[in-house]
Structure 1
């Protein structure tokens, strides 16, 4: 007799985690990446660039096509990781061997003039001409210089001759890099300069040469000059662009390098700049996650380990110098991203120390290459050095209570305003909203009870001067005149959240004959709140210059309890009951209540379907007519299993954590679908009415790829429609996955 009759299905991933307290280091996967590589005719130890996750959960080592199989960029990071372990724990044979072999690899790729090549091909040939490998005082040269300089300082206590060997190599590297420095900046970029500055700060502690000290002073001052100090979401970021503002989440080590420069020179302004940047930019990143890039718009995804690690280490260094616990707490909270404190609530670390390659809007990239794994380890290493009370804030039970929002303008309600949606492949979401005469954008949002700064991402803007923007949210209203212009993020005002869902409305009058193109609406909390379930306290970070939430800004406060709790989308997700239809010996779940997307299009509607662009309204789609040709009596048969296909305004549902309730006795469950933007798998929980839980791994391959998880091909179609509605001769597929239900 079967008693487990009620079946609940959830697409949320729940994993048991092997990393105790969130900070133990696990180098098992890093060791898997480690290998011997020929460079010329001699073997050196390096690390494979990529590992591709296989359907059975194992990994396959891989190189970067056209670039190589191992590189300085990764091996230098490994050297830094093990050198820091020696500094923290003392000399150890394992740490020593791993650090030395990595440093030897780095020195092997140094050319006669002191510059570096980056990649090595599988046949042992050095990649001398590729744009990501050739000489030119580039990223990999700066990173090599940092590793060599750190190695020279660390080994000065244990092996003087080896220290001098490393120092000599670092000295040659500095001369090359310094030849590309103008006005204190390496190639004119602040992020690249910050890496070189870290190397110079290490080298100067051992050999305080005048040229190195002069560079440290000039580059630190140049970084300080590029700090954005205007109110808004950009406050506290370093402008890394040349012609227009640009900031990359990855590579931005300005905070860490300014603290290092202060430690060498004693120049207080360097430390003060790092403090100002941390107080204002880090809470913003806590609110929206480790974004990939901010320029004239916000590129939220993909989120990568590298973009977490650089800030965690900067904050640790700031804590270590100032003793201010706020920076240790910030570092711990940021590190929690790896443990699942992210928008999908999924861990970005595997059970064997894998650092997963990326977090997208709807899914994880479960490949685990060298950069991601080493960046994760460097981040955990920094948190592990914090006092126990502070590193306890690095915990999977943290909850962000004041999320920021990046909303594609084309997804908003324009009311009766004369607005048009324009397709543009260069903007976020592939489209933007064009307004003439009047701006009007509306959307329902649930904002907690703190102040939010409101921004718009402007592209084309023919207005010269100021425009008056009006912002309404519930009963709150604000009016502000702001200077506008093209290709920039503009702060247009501030509103106060209510803790309840309400409509936000943005409006403005545009001078006659002018147009404004808006790509995104961006809301950033002025006060960021994170609840620590383990400590039962809420930490509030005021990133503004004003007093808010009784906190003088910039500053922070710790309060007891979960004071900003509101009903989140997850909390309000109720189980959806699906009716069943018996047909040909099978039970079909009627999924109409779940449909939330249109992914198939007829020729006349192909510009309006959107299968593969979750954040926007315009995307590529399946050709509906081609699917219809495969149906028999309205059903799609796959290995004699009939599937009902929905056509209409909505025809599929994207997995976003839905809970599905079925009253059924069955031996097997089958899914018809596919993934977009790659091959992905996640855990699906089957919850029975007696409390039993059974977990299956649902893997669906990319809709324009091949079956990688053992799925059956349900439909193979000769083309798809691209986001502009054009026919693309790319074969696209639907897949079927079936799983036995245990009795």
Structure 2
């Protein structure tokens, strides 16, 4: 996967309206013609970073500037666009992209992946060297095979045949690569009859489908051990294409069953990144979206079953605000943003993310108009999906637990001993849930309790364990007898999916685990989540000359400062551990910054993440200026602070941008190591010039305020 990070404010995306169109402007801005050997070829920058409102194409450090992986996706997309629209420009663009891919083919038919702008091919890197059944060879085979259906170009035909011969000698073994191979074979079948190959490998692929348990219908990359990742989830599309050639109904039924379960889970939960020893929710990727939406569209076009059109359109609406955060994931020039995190959007837009988003749009445009409207203007009323409880976020009381860091669901877990008791208050709907536990256990007995419902199980080994069903209401308690590491408790409700508006009517599409059925219902199934109550706090003040220092400690909900022995977490809202500022480098108490006095805290909770809190002053003050010490995580944010009825806009910059008012030479990472990049806090001045009794903070959770001081007019 190739993801780089740049973040944007969710607030800045509000109110954007979309029309479903195939806009390839950004994709083509990523393209560059360059000399590779003795031929001019066209590559696509791997990454596109947004800097001061403009995108700049850049390569992958130590790998290359352009790759076959992305160019093959471009070939496939433009070939399909030509097939669907009959517009010759798309065929020309596919042919252009093919020049680079063909030039990257080795004599044995496999492909190198990365090349640099200066024409150097990376022949030895682990993500570039020619390997048997590599991801990039499989994608090149699929893309070129699709293009070969529409051209008699000898170079393309020859390259496809060489790739086929190379893959036939050593076909892929894992389920995810096998699915990609079947997709290539299904396109290649138009050039040479390989139906027997398609049948053989499709039968083999069916052996990777899970037949029981919580993830029945999903496919695993391995037969012996369940491992699933959203970005390699091409199984359903492979089986749909196999069905179209062989007309064997078992392939279509397996694909339908897979999507009937997967898409409602993903609609209710978000585009899960991966499931193996733990469940990783983020980042959510357009690449994953393509893997489910495109085959759902194809099934609808084959069968006319409207349930699949609803699954496809509600899935595709993720790009246009139908996601957890209600924000667009495509830009005005067809940019496919690089990822949706817990509370952030990564607005970088590399080739992989962009072409994946465009492929979703391309196939969605073949749906009837009423479904296109659902994509363009989604109104998700409520959703119900998987809840992941990170063990380190539970209350251990005085239990013998130790926080350990590493490759865990939230980056941390609890190491526990005999007699450990944990508890957690919940905000999920009451009901019956299937519980899974992840971790590494010596023989351990686990009891999970919620009110009068109790569940017992025995755990041994490492992985994800299904421990049964529990009636859950408001909280859970966990009792552990034994030793080990507890990572996550995963709760899967009996019914998953979304309720949504279609015109004036509210409908729901759900998967019911109890009846093992996909259901399209003409009413709202899930309750809308209750809105958070506004937090109103009356604070104390300290007078210093013409300054009023606000003691905002009662509002604090975040620890931005810390030490390795008492770590903070400035930037990871979705987890317990994160990076933080060095507490030992900052004074506590009344501190003057640029001659402005502030009340600063650096031990314990020391700042407020802003969610619209309201501050009530002891008395009405005639305020001249307000001074805030603030910073943001994951990008810059335009905010609005209200002083009585006067709203003032300001841009709060990322804590690790240069030239901070309070600057530190390093920060601590989640593991407690010093990372020598300059981070800090800025002083912001708000010109108020009005009477103030109340101050309303912005509704931007990624903005942190450490201190507020008011300058009053003493005249």
Fold shared by both chains (TM-score > 0.5):
yes
1:6 is aligned to: none
Change (3 A) 1:196 1:507: same
CA distance in 2, matches of 1:317, 1:587: 65
Asked if the contact 1:365/1:680 (under 8 Å) is kept, the reply is no
The equivalences for 1:68-87 within 5 A come to 68-87=64-83
Q: Cα distance 1:124–1:468, how it changes in 2: closer, same or farther (>3 A)?
A: closer
CA contact (8 A) 2:431 2:472 kept: yes
Query: Secondary structure of 1:684's partner?
Result: strand
Q: Deviations over 1:386-432 (max 9, x none)?
A: 1122333324422442142111112112356x441341312223332
Q: 1:659/1:399 Cα in 2 relative to 1: closer, same or farther (>3 Å)?
A: farther
CA distance 1:602–1:217, change in 2 (3 Å)? closer
- Aligned residue among 387, 395, 399 for 1:405: 387
Gap change, CA 1:26 and 1:115, over 3 Å in 2? same
Q: Is 1:106–2:101 an aligned residue pair?
A: yes
- Say whether the 8 Å CA contact 1:627–1:715 is kept in structure 2: no
- The reply to whether residue 194 of structure 1 matches residue 206 of structure 2 is no
The structure-2 alpha-carbon separation of the partners of 1:106 and 1:387, relative to structure 1 and needing over 3 Å to count, comes to same
Q: Per the alignment, in what secondary structure is the counterpart of residue 205 of structure 1?
A: coil
Match of 1:542 in 2: 511
Q: Deviations over 1:450-472 (max 9, x none)?
A: 54322111323335xxx574442
User: Which residue among 212, 215, 224 is the counterpart of 1:230?
Assistant: 212
Distance verdict in 2 for CA 1:452–1:717, change over 3 Å: same
Partner of 1:88: 84
Q: Which residue of 2 aligns with 1:490?
A: 465
Structure 2: distance between partners of 1:333 and 1:626: 50
- Shift, 1:301, TM fit: 1.5
Matched, 1:368 2:349: yes
Aligned to 1:134: 129
Partner of 1:558: 521
Shift of 1:731: 4.4
What is the distance in 1 between the residues matched to 2:544 and 2:73? 59
Describe the SS at the equivalent of 2:239.
helix
2-structure distance, mates of 1:272, 1:574: 49
**Partner Cα separation in structure 2 for residue 96 and residue 103 of structure 1:** 11
Q: Say if 1:456 and 1:492, in contact at 8 Å, map to a contact too.
A: yes
1:33 matches 2:30: yes
Cross-structure match for 2:238: 257
Q: Corresponding residue for 1:327?
A: 308
Runs of 4+ in 1 over 6 A off after TM superposition: 662-669, 687-690, 739-743
User: How is 1:481-630 mapped onto 2 (pairs within 5 angstroms)?
Assistant: 482=457, 484-496=459-471, 502-507=474-479, 510=481, 514-535=482-503, 536-544=505-513, 546-547=514-515, 553-560=516-523, 562-568=524-530, 571-574=531-534, 576=536, 590-601=551-562, 606-628=565-587
Instruction: Give the superposition deviation at 1:200.
Output: 0.5
Cα distance in 2 between the residues matched to 1:298 and 1:646:
36
Once the two structures are TM-superposed, the CA of residue 607 in structure 1 deviates from its matched residue by 3.6
**Residues 262 and 31 (structure 1), Cα distance of their counterparts in 2 relative to 1, 3 Å cut:** same
Aligned to 2:268: 287
Q: CA–CA distance in 1 between the matches of 2:231 and 2:368?
A: 26
Q: Residue 410 of structure 1 contacts residue 421 of structure 1 at CA under 8 Å; is this kept in 2?
A: no
SS of residue paired to 2:322 = coil
Distance 1:538 1:667 in 2: 52
SS of the equivalent of 1:533 reads strand
Q: Per the alignment, in what secondary structure is the counterpart of residue 634 of structure 1?
A: strand
Change (3 A) 1:436 1:148: same
1:645 match: 600
SS of residue paired to 1:373: helix
1:310-321 aligned at under 5 Å gives the runs 310-321=291-302
**Cross-structure match for 1:716:** 663
Residues 419 and 433 in structure 1, CA contact (< 8 A), matched pair in contact too: no
Please report how far the alpha carbon of residue 437 of structure 1 lies from its aligned counterpart in structure 2 after TM superposition.
4.1
**Structure 2 SS opposite 1:713:** coil
Deviation, 1:520, is: 0.4
CA RMSD after TM alignment = 3.0
Q: 1:698 aligns with which of 640, 648, 652?
A: 652
Cα gap change, 1:297 to 1:26, in 2 (>3 Å)? same
Is 1:117 the counterpart of 2:112? The answer is: yes
| Contact map agreement 1:573 1:658 (CA 8 A) in 2 | no
Q: Is the 8 A contact 2:434 2:469 kept in 1?
A: yes
CA apart distance, 1:527: 0.9
DSSP 3-state at the match of 2:232: coil
Q: Does 1 or 2 have the higher relative contact order (CA < 8 Å, sep 6+)? A: 1
SS of the residue corresponding to residue 76 of structure 1 reads: helix
Query: Counterparts of 2:671 and 2:136 in 1: how far apart (Å)?
Result: 39
Distance in structure 2 (CA, Å) of the matches to 1:645 and 1:486: 47
Change (3 A) 1:399 1:28: farther
In structure 2, what is the equivalent of residue 48 of structure 1? 45
Deviation at 1:674, TM superposition (A): 4.0
Report how far residue 737 of structure 1 moved: 6.1
Q: In the alignment, what sits opposite 1:426? A: 407
Q: Distance in 1 between matches of 2:186 and 2:683?
A: 55
User: Counterpart in 1 of 2:3?
Assistant: none
1:527, 1:540 within 8 Å by CA — same for their partners in 2? no
8 Å contact 1:451–1:527 — kept in the other structure? no
Structure holding more strand per residue? 2
Q: Displacement of 1:255 after TM fit?
A: 0.6
The alpha-carbon distance between structure 1 residues 380 and 737, as it changes in their structure 2 partners (threshold 3 A), is farther
> Would you say the 8 A contact 2:665–2:677 is kept in 1?
yes
TM-score (norm 1): 0.83
- Aligned counterparts of 2:367 and 2:442: Cα–Cα separation in 1: 48
Aligned to 1:736: 682
**Within 1, Cα distance between the matches of 2:67 and 2:22?**
23
Residues 150-169 of structure 1 mapped to structure 2, 5 A cutoff: 150-153=146-149, 155=150, 159=151, 161-162=152-153, 165-169=155-159
DSSP 3-state at the match of 2:316? helix
Q: Map residues 620-699 of structure 1 onto 2, 5 A cutoff.
A: 620-628=579-587, 634-638=590-594, 640-655=595-610, 657-660=611-614, 671-676=628-633, 679-686=634-641, 696-699=650-653
Are 1:423 and 1:724, in contact at CA under 8 Å, matched by a contact in 2?
no
1:213-246: per-residue Cα shift (whole Å, max 9, x none)? 33312221222111112221x2222111477432
Q: Are residue 353 (structure 1) and residue 334 (structure 2) matched? A: yes
Asked whether the equivalents of residues 11 and 658 of structure 1 are also in contact (C-alpha less than 8 Å), the reply is no
Q: In 2, distance between residues paired with 1:25 and 1:588?
A: 54
Deviation at 1:249, TM superposition (A): 1.0
- Measure how far apart 1:31 and its partner are: 2.3
Give the C-alpha shift of residue 256 in structure 1.
0.5
The equivalent residue for 2:713 is: none
2:66–2:115 CA contact under 8 A, matched in 1: yes
Q: Does 1:180 align with 2:170?
A: yes
Q: Mean alpha-carbon deviation: is it higher for 449-458 or for 193-202?
A: 449-458
- Whether the 8 Å CA contact 1:427–1:519 is kept in 2: the answer is yes
Partners of 1:693 and 1:559 in 2: CA distance: 43
1:528/1:503 CA distance change after superposition, 3 Å: same
